């Protein structure tokens, strides 16, 4: 698996500087994740925003969560956002109705349960997961703002004030967001919708889900001045 770097503004790192990064949807693709971490020159003081969807569909959701827990110890300024797949798992464990439970299993949730050596056809409880795993997944944030960027999993609804954005839209919206401009005054960095390459519509939106679990790449972008400064992909 080859790693690539595209330098929009190649420059030496200033000593003691803090760099802002964002990482796209992982979906249990542990090999992509470990290769990405080997490729990107992260430092402990950096701000690294993970855009959500750590689990489901891919081959090793459990290994991905374990890796991210360890990564957080080494890079304590990480921010982990909630994706719609973390939301679906929580609903599944909280006794969602049959249709919602089935939707989770058929949208990659079965792969997550199997990675934890659990049978998707049997009753699964929160206590069946290792200590700390669900706390990590369900303790994730819905949004994060920093340096002129707004980080969310799926996007925002144009024409709605930030404080009035719905949980549903932050986790699930697609074309209604990125096919339109908005007036938030922030560049929205999002995942959720897999695209062939990084989506850029400055100064409105940057999309970083490049479909790692679907045979594409896992993307990390370095951000500053309202734009992408560097792109790393594996």
* Active-site residue list: 85
Who's near 15: CB < 8 A, 6+ residues apart? Answer: none
Asked if residue 11 lies in contact with residue 37, where contact means CB atoms within 8 angstroms, the answer is no
Who's near 81: CB < 8 A, 6+ residues apart? Answer: 49, 50, 51, 52, 140, 141, 142, 143, 144, 151, 152, 153
Beta-bridged to residue 4, according to DSSP, are: 233
Asked if residue 133 lies in contact with residue 139, where contact means CB atoms within 8 angstroms, the answer is no
Rg (CA), the chain: 17
Q: Report the alpha-carbon distance of residue 172 to residue 193 in Å, rounded.
A: 9
């Amino acid at each position: 698996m080859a790693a690539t770097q595209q330098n929009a503004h190649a420059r030496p790192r200033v000593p003691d500087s803090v760099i802002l990064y964002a990482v796209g949807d992982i979906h249990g693709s542990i090999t992509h994740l470990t290769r990405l971490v080997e490729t990107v020159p992260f430092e402990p003081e950096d701000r690294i925003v993970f855009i959500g969807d750590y689990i489901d569909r891919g081959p090793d959701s459990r290994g991905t969560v374990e890796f991210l827990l360890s990564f957080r110890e080494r890079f304590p300024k990480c921010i982990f956002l909630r994706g719609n797949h973390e939301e679906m798992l929580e609903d599944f464990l909280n006794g969602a109705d049959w249709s919602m439970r089935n939707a989770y299993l058929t949208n990659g949730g079965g792969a997550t349960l199997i990675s934890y050596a659990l049978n998707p056809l049997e009753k699964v409880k929160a206590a069946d997961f290792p200590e700390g795993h669900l706390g990590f997944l369900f303790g994730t944030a819905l949004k994060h703002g920093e340096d002129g960027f707004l980080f969310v999993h799926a996007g925002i609804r144009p024409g709605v004030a930030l404080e009035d954005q719905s949980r549903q839209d932050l986790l699930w919206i697609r074309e209604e967001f990125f096919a339109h401009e908005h007036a938030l005054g922030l560049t929205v960095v999002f995942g959720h919708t897999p695209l062939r390459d990084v989506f850029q519509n400055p100064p409105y939106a940057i999309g970083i889900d490049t479909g790692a679990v679907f045979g594409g790449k896992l993307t990390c972008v370095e951000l500053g001045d309202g734009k992408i400064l560097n792109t790393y992909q594996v």
